[in-house]
Amino acid sequence: MGDSHYKILENDKYGRYLVASKDLDSGELIFTDTPFAFGPKPDSPPLCLGCYCPVENTLCSRCGWPVCGAPCEQAPAHAAECQLFAQARVRFQPVDDWTASSPQLDCITPLRLLLAREQDPTRWQQELVAMETHSAARRERPAWRADQVNIADFLVDHCKLGDRFSKELVQQVCGILEVNSVEIPSRGGFSIRAVYPRLAVAAHSCVPNIVHTILQNDYQVQVRAAVPIKSGESLHLCYTHALSPTMLRREFLMESKFFQCDCARCADPTELGTHLSTLKCSKCDNGVILSTNPLDNEAGWQCTDKNCGFKTSGAAMRKMLAVVQAEVDQLDALEPGPAAIEQREATLKKYKSVFHPQHSILLSLKHSLAQLYGRVEGYEIDELPDLVLERKADFCRLMLRVLDVLIPGESRMRGMVLYELHAPIMFIARNEFSAGTITQEKLKERLQEPIKCLEEASRILMREDPQSPEGITGLIAQQSMEQLKASLDAL
């Protein structure tokens, strides 16, 4: 395995990119990669520099930077910086609020990249020097000044590292991180960032054909084909949240990755028929409101019904999305309980006449509801009436239809949705059998679908880290499938 599955090519549009060098099956492992460096993301609160769990007032006995205890003082990732801070006598300055983001930690991951460069100059030369940093564009932004003060000046002047690193090099490393790092889950539950030299070469598409899994032991990444891929086809990751509307995806990519996406999905006002950006027209019943040119965020939006003629501006759309998204973000902050369900249902009702039923905002509410129904007090799965079980199943099926188009193949999200779908189908069938409306033969037939859901869910999710929520669900899916087959055989 390894390099035989892919090769690196170069062109003007993508720079370096990956293509399959043989036909790949869905789920096939293409390569694994180890991070060149990993550590806190910008704007993190103080986290333990060994395991990344939040800390309060606990500092390393040797260097005085945040760690949660003795085992993490010994963590390999913390060793080199610990020695360096101790020698320079530069300590973490105590903060008033240990939950607020702490710019002091912004220097950690760039420093780790610089130290890894000294440790492994060959890998740095072969894999990192060629990485895109967009220095000219970054120089125009406020973040450049902040990096200059909090990172470059801090490391070179304050920590007296001028004989080892120049400020230009520090800014180059900041650029490598900004443009190429990926967000990964950590053992401490906070997400951190890592640079994977090979994964970073994969080009972006808003309809990806590869998936990646992070294993917690050493943050190794496994990259697999999500769908069957033909030899010579490009390997595409999605660099942004794939279920965001086009306007927000493109703004994010421009802001964080410095390019304008013009993939087939971005160019289509209906987002390949999924309608993640589409609004209902309040002026007429026949039309829907679409962007007149999705590749221009300033373009106008108008009703598709020629007789209606309703128009609005890109700016008005952006403003409305921001307002409603803020409402949804507040719902996402609620503890999982009855209120989390009831308030989401109320929000769905409120915006039902504004957005297409598959609009990204309504889709995210429906996705959350699909996960909450059957899991919170007052809404336990064995107490849900058939009508609500149907609703849970409908939301899951809607998610799967959208995923088939936008995140096709064997993705984590697909695995999790299939797992959610098996329960309502199973309970509806059992309820109908208890009520005497279906025969035992029919029950057996109807239970084949939840078995299929569990089979596919476990196959996809068992590839995840066994300690991750997805990995744990994969194991449960496999056990549930075996139990369900056994109970069928006993019928």
**61 secondary structure, DSSP code:** T
Give the pLDDT confidence score for residue 14 in this predicted structure: 81
**188 secondary structure, DSSP code:** T
C-alpha to C-alpha distance for 460 and 124, rounded to whole angstroms: 34
Whether the CA torsion 57, 188, 329, 243 is positive or negative: it is positive
Residue 206 structure tokens: 């808003």
C-alpha to C-alpha distance for 126 and 355, rounded to whole angstroms: 49
List for the chain the helix, strand, coil content (%; round to 5). 50, 15, 40
Task: Report, at the CATH architecture level, how domain 3-34+197-237 is classified.
Answer: Beta Complex (2.170)
> If DSSP codes are grouped into helix, strand and coil, which group holds residue 74?
coil
Q: Are 403 and 413 in contact (CB under 8 A)?
A: yes
Low-confidence ranges of the chain (pLDDT < 50): 1-2
Q: 300 — alpha (psi -120 to 50), left (phi > 0) or beta? A: beta
Give the pLDDT confidence score for residue 36 in this predicted structure: 95
389 Cα distance to chain centroid: 28
Q: What type of residue is 410?
A: E
Give the pLDDT confidence score for residue 1 in this predicted structure: 42
Q: Are 235 and 202 in contact (CB under 8 A)?
A: yes
Where in the chain are all domains bearing CATH 2.170.270.10? 3-34+197-237
Q: Are 453 and 422 in contact (CB under 8 A)?
A: yes
Which is nearest to 171 in space by CA: 158, 192, 196, 154?
A: 154
What contacts 78, CB < 8 A, 6 or more positions away? 49, 50, 60, 65, 67, 72
Q: Are 5 and 24 in contact (CB under 8 A)?
A: yes
C-alpha to C-alpha distance for 488 and 443, rounded to whole angstroms: 9
Give the pLDDT confidence score for residue 188 in this predicted structure: 73
Per-residue pLDDT tens for 327-336?
999 999 999 9
C-alpha to C-alpha distance for 130 and 141, rounded to whole angstroms: 23
C-alpha to C-alpha distance for 377 and 48, rounded to whole angstroms: 34
Residue 195 structure tokens: 């640079």
C-alpha to C-alpha distance for 433 and 439, rounded to whole angstroms: 6
Q: Are 301 and 312 in contact (CB under 8 A)?
A: yes
Residue 7 structure tokens: 């090769």
- Relative to beta strand 203-204, strand 236-237 is parallel
> If DSSP codes are grouped into helix, strand and coil, which group holds residue 279?
strand
Q: Where are the beta strands (DSSP E) in 196-338?
A: 203-204, 210-214, 221-225, 236-237, 279-280, 288-291, 301-303, 311-312
